[in-house]
Every structure is written in structure tokens, then in C-alpha cells.
Structure 1
Amino acid sequence: MAKEHLKVIAGIDTHADTHHVGVITDTGQHLAAKEFPAAGAGYQGIIDFITGFGPVLAAGVEGTGSYGAELSRVLTRKGIHVVEVMRPNRQARRLQGKSDPLDAFQAAESVLAGRAATIPKSRDGAVESLRVLRAERATAMRARVAVMAQVKTLLITAPETIRAKYREMTSPALMAALEKTRPAGAPSGPLTSTATVLKRLANRYRHLHQELALIDAELDAILTLHAPMLRDLPGVGTDVASQLLVTVGDNPERVTTEAKFAALVGVAPIPASSGKTTRHRLSRGGDRQANKAIHRVVLVRMRYDSRTRSYVARRRQEGKSTKEIMRCLKRYVAREIYEQLLHPQPAPNCGSLRTVRITKHLTLQQAADALHAWPTTLSRLERGLRHDNDLHKRYETWLNYQSPANRPDTKPSAGPRAARLTVDAKDPGSRAGRRPSRSDRSSDP
């Protein structure tokens, strides 16, 4: 076959210092293999090598999230279609042997056979910044926990003179008090050395706490610019949003369906039936950190979201266990988050609620009594500190129905509290003069 008519596929086995490249034709014929340094000149050499045989259909790269990350970015910028390749099958390794050229050719053959078709993360945008910051945050969190545990351990065996001073203190107060101490005496004395070590550990704890605060501020700033509407979803905060974005990557279009996203975050239902039992369970694959984030969203919604609490109550009446209900909720949350990632939608504008209420001369307590909610809940909703679409719709509908003419008649000097007490005296069963009971708040969002 003439060289100008060749269409080739490249396979690249990546390492820390070198990359080994194998080139095959679109019919599977091995053409050549060569090793290149894992550096700028080596990347250009790889491009010249694989394009020298003809048009490149694709390049299968191992380790696109580690040693092959920069190579993947360089190939993509040159217009070469990059495919992420898993490590070679162990059975094939035992039968055919193991070497860098063999691994490179097997990577190319995986692309040709269709076994490898995953588009790697681009790692060239704001999400990559989130990933780096989260990596730093994780180590700082572990270090802070380790410092606190070490302080508590040292206090257990410390002299009673030290233990008595800090025995009843909470952890934040303990660290603040230890930081202010001024140990004096010979370093060889157990009392002085223990006090000195505790002070240094408290200083380290404060530095780690400040570092974490700085990281959280940077994460919040990136999310505000890159994905401000993701945190409008109930239960999704800075930590959850950043983790889910890191899992998807800078190119979310590579996750083509919400079912694939569910599998990626480990909440895809798979059959687990046997005999007379017919049931499903959640996949244990995918990104476990993203699965943890989805689990946290479900826990928050089961506690605070009115729609979720109503759903949980209904499914429990149907005989479902909490585990089965959470499985269904996780799948729903994954679907909702996927839609927000691909097609961002802003949360309802809550600022108008307060304006309309004040214009109609309605008090926050009147609205709370009518909606059977806490006044603080409505206040947080009005100020944008709480996101609840169901409560927002009920509040907005109630405000639109109200008018200054149909307000309850009250004396201007008596104030709303006196009016509520008067109504309550006439009708002891009225809700107007009391705070919502526990049963009233069962449907409170």
C-alpha cells in the first residue's frame, strides 16, 4: 500500500521520563515503534513520528490523568483525536509477554477494536484549578485532624498541672488557649517540654486553619465565575459542586448521557435479582468521591427539602426501606445535576418576594402563619440564603393572591403581636397566635 494512502492509529505507553509510541494501520498492521523523552522536544518528536506515516485517525494514550496528561493536551491542540486507554489485559500480558513496545501496540489495537473509546479530560480550564485546590485542601484537612488528635493524645499523658487547665475546654477554645501559653523552664523537664510541644502544635493548627480558609475562598471565587448556578440546587454547596465538576472535567460534553453520568458517579442502578427476589442495587464503580458528594446532597435534602421529605414519607408507606429510598433519590439527584451541568438554569429570583410583601404591607409573621413555616425560614428565602423551589412557588402564589384590602383589621398602635393574641383568645385552635407545632412543620420545606 502506498504511503500516501495509509491511515494510521497511534498507541502510546506513557512513563515518568519516556513515552513509547507504536503505530499501526487501520487494518491492524504494525508499522513502527519508537521511544521519546517525556518533555517538550519529545512531544513534538512524537507528533512528527506518527504523522509521518499518513493521516492519524486517533491516538490511544495510557495514563491521560497522570504521566500522559501533558501529552494529551499537546496532541489535542494539534488536532489529533485522543482516546484514553486502560492498561493491557493481564491475561494477554501472561500469554504475550510485557514490554513497552507491546504495550504501545496493544493501546493502538484497543482503539482500532473499539475497546477504548473514552475521551479524556481536557485539563485546561477552571475545573483543573478546582482539582489542584481540592488536592491541597484534602492534605490540609488530614493534617489538621492529625494535629488535633496528637494534641488530645499528649494531654492524656501530660502532667496534671497541664491537664487540669484544659480538661473542660472545647477543641477550638483549647487550641486558642494553647497558642497563648508561654512555656518557661529547662527543656529537659517533662512539664516544660510538653507545654512547648503543645504550643507549637497549636500554632501549626492555626496555620492549617488559615490555609483551609484561603483555599475555600479561592474555590468559592472560581465557582462563582465558572458555575454559579450549580450551587442553586438544594443541598449543593461549594465542596459538593467543586467535586462534581472535577469528576466531569473541563469538557462535560464527553459525558454524552445522564445515564453515563450516573455510572460515572456510582449511582447507576444495576440488577441484583436472584430466584424469587427481584431488585436493583447501585453500581459500586465510578468516582467514589463524587458518590460521596451525591450521598451528602441526599442527606441534606432528606432533612431540609420539603419535596424530598414528602417523597420519603410516601415511599415508606409503600414499604420501601431507607436504603432503597436513598437509592432512588441518588439516581434522581444525579439526573438533576447532569442537566444543570449541561444546561445551567438560574434559581428563582427571591429578591422580589420581600419587595412584594412590603409593598402590600404584609408582615413576615403573617406570611409564616399562612404558609405554616417559620419566619426565619421565609426570611432566609427572601434574602437568597435558602433555595427551595416548592416553598418559593407557594410563597409567590400566596403573595399574588393577597392585597392590602384583605389584610386582617388591626389597630395601628396594637401591632401585629397584639392582633395575633386577640385572634388566639377568640379561637384557641387558631394558628395565628402561635408558632407552628411539630406536626405543622412536617410539611415545612
Structure 2
Amino acid sequence: MAKQVRKVYGGVDTHGRTHHAAAIDGTGRVLGDREFPATPVGYRKLISWFGQLGDVAKVGIEGTGSYGAGLARAMAEANMQIVEVDRPDRRARRRMGKSDPLDALAAARAALSGEAAGTPKTRSGPVEAIRALRVARRGAIKARTAAFNQLHGVIVSAPAGLRAALAELRGQQLVDRCAAFRIDDDRIDDPTTATKAALRAIARRIIALQDEIQAADRRLAPLTTAVAPRTAAIFGVGAEVAGQMLVTAGDNPERLRSEAAFAHLCAAAPIPASSGRTDRHRLNRGGDRAANTALYMVVVTRMRRHQPTRAYVARRTAQGLSKSDIMRCLKRFVVREIYHAIRADFEAAHAT
């Protein structure tokens, strides 16, 4: 009679330079734990260590979108089943303690119990390219906003004559005027000259950031439209929102079990909050907040320019719903439309 191979369930607590792995069997008995370097060689050794313990059924990994991304790719290439494990909350850590072996063991037990069931993003296709470009673009937008706030802050406290000269200017006109200031370095000890120098430096930083954002847009728009033409063509979506929704879904949208799962991921699935005779739902504050913001932009656009949406808003308002409740309903409608469009786009891409 052939000897039965032991089933092994693994868990990995990921960090920047090292990963700590733990393994248990099908009954939850601890088989061991070890630390490995977070390098390609370390990934191979970690995978080999799991294999030496038995037949690896499933591995739970913390942080597959950050420190664990490289390990997740290596395990996917080795045809290992991996699941995303949420980091323990503070209450659980106060009760159970905090250490790398404990976190790795908790990840293994979450994989065994089925508590961790989310399939990680593959991060190996065009959506990962879109995500990387969007990271740089988002950083440039935040920096531009900070620079604009700084520009206005310097003007508020500027000498009276300079403040009066700039008081009526707004937006790009203000930036261009400040960027064109000529500075006499021999008089840099004069407050007006020094303030002009500061305004010119900030304005030129804004112009550089605007060029960076425009360059990112030139790369992102055609790439996003090529990856998801049906999604980008949805009313109110466009390349910007489509890019965010693609990043939320990942290169493997089939990992999302249903449209409802995608809505929950986008924080567009209202949470029941009924009690007694009160029947209501409340805002879902979880999920991907960037995706939820993108849905909000689509809903606002449709409420202004989409006649069927305007008619829906009027009907639901007459029924007594608040604007926020109506917008939550509309987000749910939009996420359903986007989900099916994304699936259709990826199915068409794989068919070719």
C-alpha cells in the first residue's frame, strides 16, 4: 500500500529584507518555522523547505502587494496555491503577542481554516504596468497640490506691494507670472526680492510637475484604452477611472468570485445596519478607497450629464432617499457595469 503524503499548509510573514515561514499539517500541528532572505535565492530555498515537509496544499502570505510581491510571483511560477492573508488586528496582537514566528503561524492557520481565501494579484501583465505609472502620476499630483498651497501661503505673507500685484491672478496665470520673476541676487537680503525668489522656485516646481503629469497621461491613456476598451467607453468612466478600476481588479480579474465580491472590494457594497424596526444600510468604510473615489467621480458625472441617472435621482428623491443614499445605490450600479466590462475585456484579450 502506497504511503500517504502529508498535506502541508504554510504561512509567511513578509518584511523588506527577510521573510519568516511557518508550516502546519492538516490537523494544525506545527511542523516548524524558519527565516529566509527576501531574495530570489531565498524564495527558492523557502519553496524547497515547504516541499521537504510534505505536499504543499496552500500557503498564506501577508502583504502580497508590497514586501511579499516577489515571493508571491515565485510561488505562482512554482504552481503553488497561495492566498492573501490580512495582517492581524491590534486587539488580536495584544491578546496573542507579536513576533514573526507567531504571525507566520497565524497566516498558516488562516490558510488551513479557509479564513484567508483571497487570491492575490499576479502583478505580471499590462495592469501592473498601469499601476506603476499611476503611482508616479499620483505622487506628482499630490506634490503639485502641495506646491500650489505653498505658493498661496507665501503670497499671503508677502510684502504689500508684491501681494497686491498678484492678488487678482489665479491658476496657471499666477504660476506663469511667478515663474517669470527676475531675481537680483545682490539684493537677496531684501524681503521683496527674497519672496520673489521663493515664489519663482515654487512656480517652476509646479511647471515641472505639470510636465511630469502630462507625460504620464500620454503614456497611460492609450495603454489603458488598449487593455480595457469596453471599460473606458462606459459613460463617465474614461481612461483615468478605467485605469484605477483595472489596478483594483488586477491582471487576473477571474480571482474575483462575483460582481458582489468586486463591489465589496471597491467599498460599494452597503453594510446592513438594521436594528429593531429600523431597516437601513450604512457606508462601507473598507475596501479600496481609491476605487471608491473613482466610482464617486463616475456617479457625479452621471448625475450631471446622464439623463437616465438624472431621472433615477429624481424618482428616488421623491421616495424620500437622501442624496448620499442615492449615490451609494448608483455606485453599486456602476460597479456592476464596470465589473462585467472588465471581464469582457480580459476574456477578449485572452481569446486573441
Same fold (TM > 0.5): yes
Contact 2:227–2:345 under 8 Å retained in 1: no
| Aligned counterpart, 1:301 | 302
Deviations 1:318-339 (Å, cap 9, x if unpaired)? Answer: 3333222222211111111111
| Aligned counterpart, 1:25 | 25
| Aligned counterpart, 1:286 | 287
Contact 2:225–2:239 under 8 Å retained in 1: no
Rounded to whole Å, the distance in 2 between the matches of 1:34 and 1:174 is 59
- Structure 2: gaps spanning 5 or more residues: 347-352
1:252 aligns with 2:226: no
Rounded to whole Å, the distance in 2 between the matches of 1:276 and 1:47 is 54
| Aligned counterpart, 1:339 | 340
Compare 167-176 and 255-264 and name the one that shifted more: 167-176
Deviations 1:348-367 (Å, cap 9, x if unpaired)? Answer: xxxxxxxxxxxxxxxxxxxx
Rounded to whole Å, the distance in 2 between the matches of 1:224 and 1:239 is 10
| Aligned counterpart, 2:38 | 38
| Aligned counterpart, 1:64 | 64
| Aligned counterpart, 2:74 | 74
1:83 aligns with 2:83: yes
How far the C-alpha of 1:160 sits from its partner, in A, is: 3.0
CA distance 1:3–1:75, shift in 2 (3 Å): farther
| Aligned counterpart, 1:275 | 276
- Tell me the secondary structure at the aligned position of residue 268 of structure 1: coil
Q: Which amino acid aligns with 2:295?
A: I
| Count of aligned pairs | 344
CA distance 1:92–1:138, shift in 2 (3 Å): closer
How far the C-alpha of 1:94 sits from its partner, in A, is: 4.4
| Aligned counterpart, 1:182 | 182
Rounded to whole Å, the distance in 2 between the matches of 1:92 and 1:146 is 38
| Aligned counterpart, 1:112 | 112
Rounded to whole Å, the distance in 2 between the matches of 1:92 and 1:308 is 44
| Aligned counterpart, 1:130 | 130
Identify the structure with bigger relative contact order (alpha carbons < 8 Å, sequence gap 6+): 2
Deviations 1:236-267 (Å, cap 9, x if unpaired)? Answer: 02221111111111111111101111111111
Rounded to whole Å, the distance in 1 between the matches of 2:179 and 2:166 is 12
Rounded to whole Å, the distance in 2 between the matches of 1:92 and 1:160 is 58
| Aligned counterpart, 2:167 | 167
Deviations 1:108-147 (Å, cap 9, x if unpaired)? Answer: 1111111111111111112222222222122211211122
How far the C-alpha of 1:18 sits from its partner, in A, is: 1.0
Contact 2:12–2:20 under 8 Å retained in 1: yes
Contact 2:230–2:342 under 8 Å retained in 1: no
1:91-102 matches, within 5 Å, as: 93-102=93-102
- Tell me the secondary structure at the aligned position of residue 229 of structure 1: helix
Contact 1:3–1:54 under 8 Å retained in 2: no
Deviations 1:283-312 (Å, cap 9, x if unpaired)? Answer: 222111111111111111011001111112
How far the C-alpha of 1:220 sits from its partner, in A, is: 0.6
Q: Which amino acid aligns with 1:160?
A: A
Compare 97-106 and 30-39 and name the one that shifted more: 97-106
Contact 2:60–2:111 under 8 Å retained in 1: yes
Rounded to whole Å, the distance in 1 between the matches of 2:42 and 2:110 is 24
How far the C-alpha of 1:230 sits from its partner, in A, is: 1.0
| Aligned counterpart, 2:217 | 216
Rounded to whole Å, the distance in 2 between the matches of 1:181 and 1:275 is 67
Deviations 1:163-213 (Å, cap 9, x if unpaired)? Answer: 233222222111111222212242111122111221121111110110011
Larger Rg: 1
| Aligned counterpart, 2:202 | 201
Rounded to whole Å, the distance in 2 between the matches of 1:53 and 1:277 is 54
Contact 2:236–2:298 under 8 Å retained in 1: yes
Compare 145-154 and 71-80 and name the one that shifted more: 145-154
How far the C-alpha of 1:96 sits from its partner, in A, is: 4.5
- Tell me the secondary structure at the aligned position of residue 169 of structure 1: coil
Q: Which amino acid aligns with 1:110?
A: A
- Structure 1: gaps spanning 5 or more residues: 346-445
| Aligned counterpart, 1:155 | 155
Rounded to whole Å, the distance in 2 between the matches of 1:326 and 1:181 is 46
Contact 2:178–2:200 under 8 Å retained in 1: yes
- Tell me the secondary structure at the aligned position of residue 229 of structure 2: coil
Runs of 4 or more above 4 Å deviation = 89-96
